[in-house]
Amino acid sequence: MGNLTSENIEYLNQHLVKKEVKYDPLKGEMLDHICCELEELMEEGMSFPEAYMEFSKTVSSNNIKAVENETIHLVNHKLFIMRKVIYILGALTASIFAFCVLFKLMHWPGALELFFIFWTLCPILIITAAVYYYQMSELNGKNKFAFFLAVVCSLSLIVGGFFKILHLPFGGILLMIGFVGGAIFTIPYFFYSLYQKGISGNS
């Protein structure tokens, strides 16, 4: 008796659309919350219309919109901080690499230490940038797989190069994974995506 039908759920979804809730992750969470509340009321013997009217008394349109605005503000603030971290990490990594090359060419002490710092920051930079891009982009199943593959190939190249230079085991295998994965999957798919965007932009 307390179970909602697919028609009921679609009605609630359209209700959120009418309330101009546009942030999809929040809309999904709100829909789940409303469904749970209504099912509890329906288990007490109410029909769906009665449960919906009872729930509507406690939640106004202004409250729903305020929750959405607050959520979007928090998400944007988090992404802003993440973007600043990426810029700082990128600038720091590039500077350390430049000093590492300079110290190595001039045979100054400290080149090895800078080298270790550089190869430590690179994976952190890649992962942070990947998380930022993933949260900013709406990726479907195929694009999610390609994105995940690109991150894995990039990390394989970075870690593989680090292992290879230090003559550690599995360095060659990681490099092969990065190069082969990039050459066969990542690079072709990148240009295919550009081609698809060009077609959709001209249509």
User: What are the DSSP calls for 125-189, one per residue?
Assistant: HHHHHHHHHHHHS---HHHHHHHHHHHHHHHHHHHHHHHHHTT-TTHHHHHHHHHHHIIIIIHHH
Tokens 């394989």 found at: 156
**According to the model, what pLDDT value does residue 99 have?**
92
Residue 85 neighbours by CB distance under 10 Å: 15
Q: Could you tell me which residues come within 8 angstroms of residue 178 by beta carbon, excluding any fewer than 6 positions away?
A: 153, 154, 155, 156, 157, 158, 160
Report the share of the chain in percent with pLDDT over 90.
5
**According to the model, what pLDDT value does residue 1 have?**
41
Separation between Cα atoms, residue 169 and residue 160, nearest integer Å: 9
What are 53-82's pLDDT values in tens digits? Answer: 887 777 655 566 666 677 677 777 777 888
In whole angstroms, how far apart are CA 153 and each of 36, 96, 149, 183, 203? 42, 23, 6, 10, 33
Residue type, 102: L
Separation between Cα atoms, residue 138 and residue 135, nearest integer Å: 8
Asked if 125 and 143 count as a contact pair (C-beta separation under 8 A), the reply is: no
**According to the model, what pLDDT value does residue 173 have?**
92
Separation between Cα atoms, residue 99 and residue 93, nearest integer Å: 10
**According to the model, what pLDDT value does residue 140 have?**
65
What is the full per-residue pLDDT of the chain (203 aa) written as tens digits? 457 888 888 888 887 767 656 666 667 777 887 888 888 888 888 888 888 888 777 765 556 666 667 767 777 777 788 888 888 888 998 899 899 889 989 989 998 888 889 888 888 888 888 888 777 766 666 677 778 888 888 889 888 888 888 888 988 999 999 888 888 887 887 777 777 766 655 55
Tokens 């940038």 found at: 129
Separation between Cα atoms, residue 132 and residue 96, nearest integer Å: 23
- Which pTM value belongs to this model? 0.54
